[in-house]
């Protein structure tokens, strides 16, 4: 017996809702799955393209490498072919020469059989020469291969020897460092045994004094108390010792310092426990090296003596602070090594400056000699032109004198005498210019002063090869100094550089600039200079008083009432410009500084 299934509207609605939800969920799942597939396809496509790109790059790299190898092989083949061709041509040329010689000898005979025999001999000689050339080429290649093999073996042996020497040097350095530290420790122990507590007290007192000095230097600054002339670092070095050699010495000093740190020879400590001892030593070493490295960056900016004292102060302060860590302290041998770095760094900097200054001096000398050469050439052209004009005038006066009467002839004779005197003077001037142009060391030593710029008692002693030395002195008095130079003496000399050097050497201790020797200013009485010149048997005229006209006029204008200054200044400037032009010196452009 069956019962009909009754479905209420609510159940139907629920069923429909469930079916609709399942449908939507399935659609969403399908969409997500499609998106994942699309993403996977895109990633796979990107990976595929990436791998294709890498494969293409590898193929291109292989092609490039193959091309380079083929190019190298082609070059070697070309070289061998060129060598073979050269050898072949050489022996062919020799064979042809032999053939030509035999042909020339055979031309005197008419026998064709003998000619054929000689031709066959020549061919045989050519074949033999080619065979010999091939054998020589094979021998040359064998010798070249043998030489390359021997060179490779000798290079390996040299490298091994260098490694052994380097290892031995490092071992010697480590041994020397250890022995020096041991000797210092033994000496301190013996001194302590001999003097007892007195030695400890003296040592502690000295250490505290140095620490106090270091603290005072850090607080108050170093000032000029520790300045040492940098040039004293390189005075004892060889004359051919340059900044490159000093740089190599600096490199060795740094290697020594680095090796001492790596082998534990830079510092020491009284901790018994190894871990604490190593930590304290590393702490003290890092603190000291940090300060020293910062100090070494100041080489060239600060004085060597000041930098050296800063390193000593860093040494004392680190050791003072290290007392709290069971007397962790930097060894004096390591201090010496770092001071050696400072020394060679300063020496390299100073030598580089000197070489730069020498190059600048050479360039300046070349410019000065070029100006002198142009002066000589201009003077020669002017005197030659003047001679030509005078000769033409003299010839014209002679012709007119021949045609003139008795009364007029006397006038022409006087004119001819004047022209002949001018011609002699022009020829002498021409000869002087030619002589100075031919003598490369001929010139003038000048002694000048500038009271308004540098004060009384300061002289500049220099040299110029200009035909007119005053042009050089006028250049020195340009806009770089407030006043012009006064000339005390101009001394002509056949060896002007030697005379200048002698005067510089005589007053070396009186140089104002003791560091840059290109600055030729000396604080020396003029009477002393005149005496030195007279002692060398040189005849020269000295002007003892410095006129200092511009300076004294400027002082006079400054002392005038304000309403009179402008009027006096304008008047003096006009007079001075007119005077300059009259004396042959070009007047100044008012726009110039």
The highest-confidence range among 109-123, 179-193, 282-296, by mean pLDDT, is: 282-296
Q: What is the pLDDT of residue 583?
A: 45
| Alpha carbon distance 281, 265 (integer Å) | 10
For 51-93, the pLDDT digits (tens) are 777 777 777 777 777 777 677 777 777 777 777 777 777 767 7
Kindly state whether residues 349 and 221 are assigned to the same domain. Answer: yes
Least confident span in 58-67, 128-137, 351-360 = 128-137
Mean pLDDT of 539-561: 86
> Which tokens in the block code for residue 486?
């006064």
Instruction: Name the burial class of residue 193, with classes exposed (0-12), middle (13-18) and buried (19+) by CB atoms within 10 angstroms of its CB.
Output: exposed
The highest-confidence range among 33-42, 374-383, 488-497, by mean pLDDT, is: 488-497
For 489-523, the pLDDT digits (tens) are 999 988 888 899 999 999 999 999 887 777 899 99
Q: What is the pLDDT of residue 110?
A: 46
Instruction: Name the burial class of residue 192, with classes exposed (0-12), middle (13-18) and buried (19+) by CB atoms within 10 angstroms of its CB.
Output: middle
Q: What is the pLDDT of residue 525?
A: 93
Least confident span in 67-76, 313-322, 453-462, 509-518 = 67-76
Start-to-end CA span in the chain (Å): 133
Average pLDDT, the chain: 77
pLDDT band at 336 (very low <50, low <70, confident <90, very high): very high
For 211-253, the pLDDT digits (tens) are 777 788 778 788 777 777 766 666 666 665 666 788 888 888 8
Kindly state whether residues 395 and 489 are assigned to the same domain. Answer: no
The highest-confidence range among 111-125, 345-359, 450-464, by mean pLDDT, is: 450-464
pLDDT band at 593 (very low <50, low <70, confident <90, very high): very low
Kindly state whether residues 349 and 217 are assigned to the same domain. Answer: yes
pLDDT band at 278 (very low <50, low <70, confident <90, very high): very high
Residue 382 lies in a domain: yes
| Alpha carbon distance 52, 181 (integer Å) | 66
Mean pLDDT of 290-303: 91
Residue 533 lies in a domain: yes
Residue 34 lies in a domain: no
Residue with the larger pLDDT of the pair 429 and 289:
289
Kindly state whether residues 222 and 317 are assigned to the same domain. Answer: yes
Kindly state whether residues 357 and 372 are assigned to the same domain. Answer: no
Kindly state whether residues 197 and 319 are assigned to the same domain. Answer: yes
State the DSSP string of 507-525: TGGGBS-SS-TT--EEE--
β pairing state of 329-330 and 458-464: unpaired
pLDDT band at 22 (very low <50, low <70, confident <90, very high): confident
Residue 62 lies in a domain: no
How far is the CA of 494 from the CAs of 172, 447, 506, 537, in angstroms? Answer: 58, 17, 20, 14
Q: Dihedral of the CA atoms 588, 589, 590, 593 (nearest 10)?
A: -80
For 392-451, the pLDDT digits (tens) are 888 887 887 777 777 777 777 777 788 888 878 877 777 766 665 555 678 899 999 999
Q: What is the pLDDT of residue 268?
A: 92
pLDDT > 50? residue 109: no
Residue with the larger pLDDT of the pair 552 and 84:
552
Q: Which of 437, 471, 491 is the last residue of a domain?
A: 437
Residue 454 lies in a domain: yes
Residue 125 lies in a domain: no
- CB 285, CB 273: distance < 8 Å: no
| 488, containing H or E segment | strand 486-493
| Alpha carbon distance 50, 108 (integer Å) | 85
Three-class SS of residue 490?
strand
Kindly state whether residues 343 and 381 are assigned to the same domain. Answer: no
Residue 52 lies in a domain: no
Task: Kindly give, in sequence order, each residue whose CB lies less than 8 Å from that of residue 134, ignoring residues fewer than 6 positions away.
Answer: 87
Kindly state whether residues 374 and 469 are assigned to the same domain. Answer: no
| Alpha carbon distance 193, 317 (integer Å) | 27
Q: What is the pLDDT of residue 245?
A: 82
pLDDT band at 589 (very low <50, low <70, confident <90, very high): very low
Q: What is the pLDDT of residue 511?
A: 93
pLDDT > 60? residue 453: yes
Three-class SS of residue 591?
coil
Q: Where are the beta strands (DSSP E) in 242-349?
A: 267-268, 329-330
pLDDT > 70? residue 301: yes
Task: Look at the block and give the residue holding tokens 């003072």.
Answer: 320
| Alpha carbon distance 161, 167 (integer Å) | 10
pLDDT > 60? residue 582: no
Kindly state whether residues 449 and 527 are assigned to the same domain. Answer: yes
Closest CA to 528 of 501, 487, 488: 488
Q: What is the DSSP letter of 299?
A: B
β pairing state of 458-464 and 443-449: antiparallel
Helices (H) and strands (E) in the chain, counts: 14, 6
Kindly state whether residues 242 and 390 are assigned to the same domain. Answer: no
Kindly state whether residues 338 and 382 are assigned to the same domain. Answer: no
Q: Which of 361, 376, 398 is the last residue of a domain?
A: 361
Domain count for the chain: 3
Q: Which of 361, 379, 404 is the last residue of a domain?
A: 361
User: Measured in whole angstroms, how far is the alpha carbon of residue 333 from the centre of its chain?
Assistant: 33
525 lies in which domain range? 440-559
| Alpha carbon distance 515, 512 (integer Å) | 9
- CB 447, CB 485: distance < 8 Å: no
Instruction: Name the burial class of residue 538, with classes exposed (0-12), middle (13-18) and buried (19+) by CB atoms within 10 angstroms of its CB.
Output: middle
Kindly state whether residues 200 and 333 are assigned to the same domain. Answer: yes
* Residues β-bridged to residue 299: 302
Q: What is the pLDDT of residue 520?
A: 92
Closest CA to 93 of 47, 52, 50, 125: 125
Task: Kindly give, in sequence order, each residue whose CB lies less than 8 Å from that of residue 97, ignoring residues fewer than 6 positions away.
Answer: none
Residue 579 lies in a domain: no
- CB 496, CB 441: distance < 8 Å: yes
């Amino acid at each position: 017996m069956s019962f009909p299934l009754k479905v209420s509207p609510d159940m139907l609605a629920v069923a429909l809702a469930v079916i609709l939800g399942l449908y939507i969920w399935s659609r969403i799942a399908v969409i997500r799955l499609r998106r994942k597939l699309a993403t996977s396809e895109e990633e796979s496509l990107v990976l595929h393209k990436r791998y294709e790109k890498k494969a293409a790059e590898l193929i291109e790299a292989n092609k490039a490498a193959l091309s380079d190898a083929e190019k190298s092989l082609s070059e070697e083949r070309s070289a061998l072919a060129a060598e073979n061709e050269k050898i072949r041509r050489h022996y062919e040329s020799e064979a042809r020469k032999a053939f030509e010689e035999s042909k020339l000898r055979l031309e005197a005979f008419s026998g064709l059989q003998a000619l054929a025999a000689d031709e066959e001999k020549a061919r045989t000689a050519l074949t033999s020469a080619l065979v010999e050339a091939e054998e020589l080429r094979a021998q040359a290649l064998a010798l070249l291969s043998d030489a390359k093999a021997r060179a490779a073996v000798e290079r390996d042996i040299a490298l091994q020897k260098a490694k052994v020497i380097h290892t031995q040097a490092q071992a010697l350095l480590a041994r020397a460092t250890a022995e020096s530290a041991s000797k210092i420790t033994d000496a301190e122990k013996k001194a302590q045994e001999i003097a007892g507590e007195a030695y400890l007290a003296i040592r502690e007192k000295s250490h505290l004094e140095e620490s106090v000095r270091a603290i005072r230097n850090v607080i108050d600054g170093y000032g000029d108390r520790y300045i040492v002339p940098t040039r004293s670092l390189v005075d004892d070095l060889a004359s051919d010792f340059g900044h490159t050699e000093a740089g190599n010495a600096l490199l060795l000093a740094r290697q020594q310092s680095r090796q001492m740190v790596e082998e534990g020879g830079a510092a020491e400590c009284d901790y018994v426990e190894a871990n604490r001892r190593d930590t304290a030593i590393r702490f003290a070493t890092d603190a000291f090296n940090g300060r020293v490295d910062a100090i070494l960056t100041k080489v060239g900016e600060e004085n060597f003596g000041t930098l050296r004292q800063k390193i000593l102060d860093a040494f004392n302060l680190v050791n003072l602070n290290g007392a709290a860590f069971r007397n962790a302290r930097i060894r004096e041998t390591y201090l010496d090594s770092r001071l050696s770095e400072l020394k060679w760094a300063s020496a390299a900097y100073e030598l580089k400056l000197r070489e730069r200054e020498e190059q600048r001096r050479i360039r300046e000398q070349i410019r000065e000699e070029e100006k002198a050469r142009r002066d000589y050439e201009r003077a020669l052209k002017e005197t030659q032109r003047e001679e030509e004009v005078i000769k033409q005038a003299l010839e014209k006066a002679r012709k007119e004198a021949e045609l003139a009467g008795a009364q007029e002839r006397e006038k022409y004779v006087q004119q001819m005498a004047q022209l002949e005197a001018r011609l002699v003077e022009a020829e002498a001037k021409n000869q002087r210019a030619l002589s100075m142009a031919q003598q490369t060391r001929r010139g003038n030593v000048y002694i000048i002063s500038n009271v308004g710029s540098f004060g009384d008692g300061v002289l500049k002693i220099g040299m110029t090869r200009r035909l007119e030395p005053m042009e050089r002195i006028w250049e020195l008095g340009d806009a770089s100094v407030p006043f012009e130079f006064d000339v005390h003496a101009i001394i002509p000399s056949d060896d002007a550089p030697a005379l200048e050097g002698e005067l510089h050497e005589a007053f070396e201790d009186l140089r104002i600039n003791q560091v840059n020797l290109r600055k030729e200013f000396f604080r020396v009485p003029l009477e002393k200079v005149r005496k030195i010149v007279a002692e060398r048997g040189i005849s020269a005229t000295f002007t003892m008083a410095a006129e200092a006209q511009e300076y004294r006029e400027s002082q006079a204008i400054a002392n005038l009432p304000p309403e009179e200054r402008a009027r006096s200044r304008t008047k003096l400037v006009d007079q001075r410009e007119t005077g300059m032009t009259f004396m042959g010196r070009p007047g100044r452009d008012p726009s110039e500084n």
